[in-house]
Amino acid sequence: MDKEFSLQAVPASHRNGFWKMFVVMLGFTFFSASMLSGGELGLGLSMQQFIWMVLLGNLILGLYTGGLAYIAAKTGLSTHLLARYAFGEKGSYLVSFLLGGTQVGWFGVGLAMFAVPVNKATGIDMLTLIIISGIVMTFSAFFGMKALAILSFVAVPAIAILGSISVGIAIDDMGGLHDLFAYQPENSLGLAAALTICVGSFASGGTLTPDFARFAKTKKSAVITTLIAFFIGNSLMFLFGAVGSISTGLADISEVMFVQGLIIPAIIVLGLNIWTTNDNSLYASGLGFSNITKIKKSKLVIFNGLIGTILAMWLYNNFVGWLTILGAALPPIGAILLADFFLLRKGRYPSFEQMSFKAIHWSAIIAWGAGFASAQFIPGIPPLNGIIGSVVVYVGWTLILDKKLQAEPIAKQQREV
Q: Please give the pLDDT value at position 417.
A: 39
Which has more confidence, 351 or 3?
351
Confidence of residue 407 (pLDDT cuts 50, 70, 90): low
Q: Would you state the pLDDT for residue 323?
A: 64
- Position 415 confidence tier, pLDDT thresholds 50, 70, 90: very low
> Mean pLDDT over residues 377-398, rounded?
92
pLDDT score of 409 more than 60: no
Residue 413 has pLDDT above 60, yes or no: no
User: Residue 343 pLDDT > 60, yes or no?
Assistant: yes
**How many Cα atoms are found within 13 Å in the side-chain-facing hemisphere of 240?**
31
Residue 416 pLDDT level (bands cut at 50, 70, 90):
very low
| Res 324: pLDDT | 67
Ranges of each domain in the chain? 12-319
The superfamily in CATH containing domain 12-319 is: Hydantoin permease (1.10.4160.10)
Neighbouring-strand partners of residue 216 = 16
Arithmetic mean of pLDDT, 165-176:
92
Q: What is the pLDDT averaged over residues 1-14?
A: 88
Mean pLDDT of the chain: 89
List the single range of 4-8, 102-106, 355-359, 405-409 with lowest mean pLDDT: 405-409
Q: Which of 106-120, 178-192, 336-350 has the highest mean pLDDT?
A: 336-350
Structure confidence at residue 196 as a pLDDT band (50, 70, 90): confident
| Residue 322 pLDDT exceeds 80 | no
- The pLDDT-based confidence of 331 (bands split at 50, 70, 90) is very high
Residue 385 has pLDDT above 80, yes or no: yes
Among 146-160, 284-298, 343-357, 391-405, where is mean pLDDT lowest?
391-405
Whole-prediction pTM value? 0.91
Residue 67 has pLDDT above 90, yes or no: yes
* Residue 403 vs residue 248, higher pLDDT: 248
Could you write out the three-class secondary structure of the chain? CCCCCCCCCCCHHHCECHHHHHHHHHHHHCCHHHHHHHHHHHCCCCHHHHHHHHHHHHHHHHHHHHHHHHHHHHHCCCHHHHHHHHHCCCHHHHHHHHHHHHHHHHHHHHHHHHHHHHHHHHCCCHHHHHHHHHHHHHHHHHCHHHHHHHHHHHHHHHHHHHHHHHHHHHHHHHCCHHHHHHCCCCCCCCHHHHHHHHHHHHHHHHCCCHHHHCCECCHHHHHHHHHHHHHHHHHHHHHHHHHHHHHHCCCCHHHHHHHCCCHHHHHHHHHHHHHHHHHHHHHHHHHHHHHHHCCCHHHHHHHHHHHHHHCHHHHHHHCHHHHHHHHHHCHHHHHHHHHHHHHHCCCCCCCHHHCCCCCCCHHHHHHHHHHHHHHHHCCCCHHHHHHHHHHHHHHHHHHHHHHHHHHHHHHHHHHHC
pLDDT tens, position by position, 260-319: 888 888 888 889 989 998 999 999 999 999 999 999 888 999 999 999 999 999 988 887
pLDDT at 83 over 80: yes
- Region 43-49 average pLDDT: 92
Least confident window among 79-88, 249-258, 297-306, 310-319: 249-258
